[in-house]
Amino acid sequence: MPGDWAGCARVLTPLTRRLPKFPAIITGMAIAETSLSHVYPLGARLNAHGVLELGGCDALQLAREFGTPAYIVVEDDLRERARAYIAAGRAAGHEDLAVVYASKASACTALLRLFAQEGLWCDVASGGELHLALAGGFPPERLLMHGNAKSLDELRAALRHRLGLIVIDNFDEIERLALLVGEGELAGGSDRVARAAGGIAQPVLIRATPDVRGDTHEKISTGQANSKFGFGMEEVPEAIRRVRAIAGLELQGIHAHVGSQLLELEPFRRAAQQLSQLGVFPTWDLGGGLGVAYTASQHPPSIEDYVGAVVGAAREYLGEHSRLLIEPGRSLTANAGVTLYTVESVKRNVSTWVGVDGGMSDNLRPMLYDASYEAEVVDRFGGDTPCVLAGKHCESGDVIVREALLDNPRPGDVIVTPVTGAYGHAMANNYNGVPRPPIIFCSGGDARVVVRRESFDDLNLRDVA
Ligand code: LLP
């Protein structure tokens, strides 16, 4: 990968430079490659021909070779952000900080393998994510299971694999775990997971809802009192009492997650302050939630500032020597990825409608959360034609970017939308029978498929009649 950003503390401070209106193409002179705003993956730039380059790979060639739509992920970006988290923990002077990747953000095996190699932990929110995390090579002791509606099978799997932590969400789950680790019929005969009998108790956390709201979309806000997640603050003492009464469970501490895509640090501090009422514990897990820039005008706190703030709050309110867990998802993967589309049609009525070959099957975020994205023609950045970037799906809500500025787009153009590395592939679907895109990893000028494109035959694969 280009050495210009390999040291990385520097690149993780967002580049605030805006693109020039037109790429700097200066004939007859050495042409300066143009670096892009901080929404793009680390090291992304316009090459000497004004074409977007990602991980050293030309975006037009990527589109030609792998087809579109395609998720392009810059491998070194993922690695550097993982390292930035670990380094930030060290810089903040925390002796025992575990960085737990929230795999719901993106759970492809290659990406999980990379984070496992970098020494992260991983959180899974279902049996399927557990399966993927194990396939990615995470040792079970570095896995943590979440869920407000865990099934018996999911709890059994968590116990059988001896996960590092199970985060208990509700009283029914305490009862289920009591039965599974004890003599309960629920676990059923030979299928019983009798941990207590073997003298090894399952480490657990209790999830609390700290009654703290961050400024984010209501669908991804979780810390408020009326939440489907966790125990209310007033219920936590009873939950603690019940868990401590079960020999097969070892209560290590408390978990809370305020919400996602938070662009301010204050809610994390308030959550720690609230949780301090609950007592003294060897482990605290303050969840994930650090927001990212989807557009160049957004400037989220850096990883370093976020970790510094969380460590500081934990020190102030939760005690100097407890183990601290944080669960970043989006901030590890979002900006590492972009989506490439091909323009299929351009229609002018009240607006200019640019129809591309993907849409709400590969990026549901604009439709679910009114999320804003940027878009560019990959070889003509800096356009000024106001366009609506629309998907190919059969409904009017299928709009990827409501106010895109593109350079005279026409059929065949390749379009990039940055910041699709989190909750893009993870929430992809087959609406209108559209096959899901591949994931291509790029590094040092090489590109490789790590998840292949779905085929039409894949769409029938599960039919049994
Ligand atoms: N820990 C827990 C318990 C969570 O529920 C979540 C996210 C995270 C960690 C990771 O949060 P992050 O660092 O990624 O903000 N589909 C939505 C996001 C849903 C997030 C749900 N929980 C979106 O596309 O914005």
DSSP 284-312: EE----B---SSTT--PPPHHHHHHHHHH
pLDDT at 252: 98
Q: Whose CA is nearest to atom 5 of ligand 1?
A: 257
* Tokens found for residue 326: 């944080």
Sequential DSSP letters for 61-100: HHHHHH-SSEEEEEHHHHHHHHHHHHHHHHHTT-SSEEEE
Q: Write out pLDDT tens, residues 190-210.
A: 445 544 445 689 999 999 998
Assess whether 387 carries a catalytic annotation: no
Cβ-based neighbours of 182, under 8 Å, separated by 6 or more: 194, 196, 246, 247, 248
HSE at residue 147, side-chain half, CA atoms within 13 A, is: 23
249-262 pLDDT, tens digit each: 999 999 999 999 99
321-209-103-40 Cα dihedral, nearest 10 degrees? -90
Enter the tokens of residue 183.
């003599």
Closest CA to 77 of 422, 424, 387: 422
Mean pLDDT of the chain: 90
Per-residue pLDDT band at 226 (split at 50, 70, 90): confident
At 373, is the pLDDT very low, low, confident or very high (cuts 50, 70, 90)? Answer: very high
CB 375 within 8 A of CB 404: yes
Residues 6+ apart with CB under 8 A from 246: 174, 177, 178, 181, 182, 196
| CB atoms closer than 10 angstroms to residue 312 | 17
* 444 dihedral zone (left: phi>0; alpha: psi -120 to 50; beta): left
- The answer to whether the CB of 401 falls within 8 A of the CB of 415 is no
> 130 pLDDT band (50/70/90 cuts)?
very high
Q: Atom 19, ligand 1: which residue's CA is nearest?
A: 220
CA of 420 to the centre of ligand 1 (A): 14
Residue 328 Cβ < 6 Å to ligand 1:
yes
What separation in Å is there between the alpha carbon of 326 and the centre of ligand 1?
A: 12
> Does residue 423 line the site of ligand 1, with CB under 6 A?
yes
Any atom of ligand 1 within 6 Å of the Cβ of 261 = yes
412-447: per-residue pLDDT in tens?
Answer: 999 999 999 999 999 999 999 999 999 999 999 999
